[in-house]
Amino acid sequence: MRSRRSISDIVAVVLLIVIAIAAAVIIYMWLSGLIGSVHTSTSATQVKLEITGASVKNISNNSTLPTTYNVTVTVYNPPDSPSTSITVGELEFTNGTMICSNTSLSSLSTTTITPSGSATVSFECSGSAAPAGTPVEVVLVTTQGVQVSYTTSVS
């Protein structure tokens, strides 16, 4: 009888230790999530920019390489999103391969896009050849680092 009682005591202690460790892990995960959200910039998560239309035109001679593209994008900033502006414009194949990128702020024609406002962003870039009709993705990056994309085709 005595040996059976000591085994029950050991099982009880082991169960208490397991429960304490599980509680500590749950509290740690909750606190690290809470602390992480306090120190993270909330402006990037609140930006909800939308591309409502885009056109990509090949403006170079077909014989010249690299090919130069004129990209015009219409952007809408919803009412519950903060003011933002575009810092980078990219053109990619739909599989994610980069065609060209424009990081020069002077050639990105845009202003600050206010909430409930829309703007037209235009830029030129040179890169890989994409024949007319090729589906491409226009990617814009905001000052907060948020990326928005739109699929269209080269004309």
Q: From the first residue on, what is the mean pLDDT of each consecutive set of 10 residues in the chain (155 residues)?
A: 68 94 90 62 68 90 77 90 87 89 64 87 87 91 87 91
Parse the chain into domains and list their residue ranges: 2-40, 44-153
pLDDT of res. 108: 58
Query: CATH fold of 44-153, please?
Result: Immunoglobulin-like (2.60.40)
pLDDT of res. 143: 84
pLDDT of res. 18: 97
- Listing DSSP states for 34-57 in one string gives HHHHHHS-HHHHH---EEEEEEEE
Prediction pTM value = 0.67
